[in-house]
Amino acid sequence: MERAPNLLRRDLERLYKLGFRPINVKEFLAGRFELPPGASPVVLTFDDANPSQVRFDAEGKLDPECGLGILEEFSKSHPDFPPKATFFVLPELWGQPADRAKKIEMIKAWGGEVANHTVTHPNLGRLTDQRVKEEIAGSFKLLEPFGGNPELLALPLGISPKNKSLLKSFELQGKNYNLDAVFLVGANPAPPPTSAKFDRYRIPRIQACEGPFGLDDWLDKLETGQVKPYVAP
C-alpha cells in the first residue's frame, strides 16, 4: 500500500493529536512502552523497500519527500515523536546500492529496525517447505551483515505457509533460523503482548488507507469512542 506524501503528513498529525508516540517492534514485543503519561504506542511499519520510503538526493542527503524524510521533518517540529519506524525489506533495499549501509545506519540510529519480508515476495502458501525456508533465510543472509532484524518477518500478502511451524524456527543447510515475530497485512489493531489474544506469530496491522479497516476508519472509531487504545499511566 502506497501513501502519498501529503497523506502521510496528515496521518502523522492525526496520530500525534490523538496521543500516539512511536515505538519499534522489539519494544512492543517486550511490552516496554517508555511513553509520556497519557500517550499511546504506535509501531510505524513500511513494507517492500520501495525507493519512495528511503531516498537520498544528489547531495547524499535524505530526501524530505520520501517516507523517512517526512518522519524526520515531523520529528523536528514534534520532538516527542521520534522518526522511529520498522522497514520490512526486499533485497532492492530502496535502490541506490552504494547508500545501503548509510540508510540502514540512519534508521537504526533513530531507533528503527530493518526487518524480513522474504527475498522475492511470494505467496508462501503456494511454496514447498524448502522454498519457504529459502525465502526467509535469504533475508537473514541479506540483513545480518548490516546488523538488521531478520528475525522479524512481515508475511508477503499476509499469507502463511502451509507448514506454519516454519514461522517459528527451521534448519537449512546446517544453520538454525529462529523468528521472533510474524506480522500480517491487516486489518485491525494488535492486542498488547500481555493479552491472552496476542499471538506473536500472527500480529495484525492497520494499513494506511481509506475505507473500512484502514487507518482513517480506525482513527475515526477512536475519536468517537468505539475503540480505546492503551494509555500510559
Q: The CATH number of the domain where 180 resides is what?
A: 3.20.20.370
105: helix, coil or strand?
A: helix
Helix axes 215-223, 5-17, angle to 10 degrees: 20
Over range 209-215, report the average pLDDT. Answer: 93
Give the Cα separation of 116 and 95 in Å (integer).
17
Task: Determine whether 154 is exposed, middle or buried from the number of CB atoms within 10 Å of its CB (0-12, 13-18, 19+).
Answer: buried
Residue 52, domain extent? 5-223
Over range 101-119, report the average pLDDT. Answer: 98
Give the Cα separation of 156 and 232 in Å (integer).
32
Q: What is the average pLDDT score of the chain?
A: 96
- The residue with cell 473500512 is 212
Contact 121, 48 (CB under 8 A): yes
Please, which residues bridge with residue 103 across strands?
A: none
Structural domain includes residue 233: no
Structural domain includes residue 232: no
Task: Report the percentage of the chain scoring pLDDT > 70.
Answer: 100
Give the Cα separation of 225 and 232 in Å (integer).
18
Give the Cα separation of 52 and 39 in Å (integer).
29
pLDDT digits (tens, 9 = 90+) for 164-200: 999 999 999 999 999 999 999 988 999 999 999 999 9
Structural domain includes residue 12: yes
Structural domain includes residue 228: no
pLDDT exceeds cutoff 90 at 2: no
Task: Report the percentage of the chain scoring pLDDT > 90.
Answer: 96
Structural domain includes residue 102: yes
Over range 119-147, report the average pLDDT. Answer: 98
pLDDT exceeds cutoff 70 at 1: no
Q: How far is CA 126 from the centre of its chain?
A: 24
Task: List the Cα angle 72/73/74 in 5-degree steps.
Answer: 90
Q: What is the largest CA-CA distance in the chain?
A: 54
Contact 135, 153 (CB under 8 A): no
Structural domain includes residue 68: yes
pLDDT value at residue 186: 86
Structural domain includes residue 30: yes
Structural domain includes residue 73: yes
Number of domains in the chain: 1
**CA-based Rg of the chain, rounded to a whole angstrom?**
17
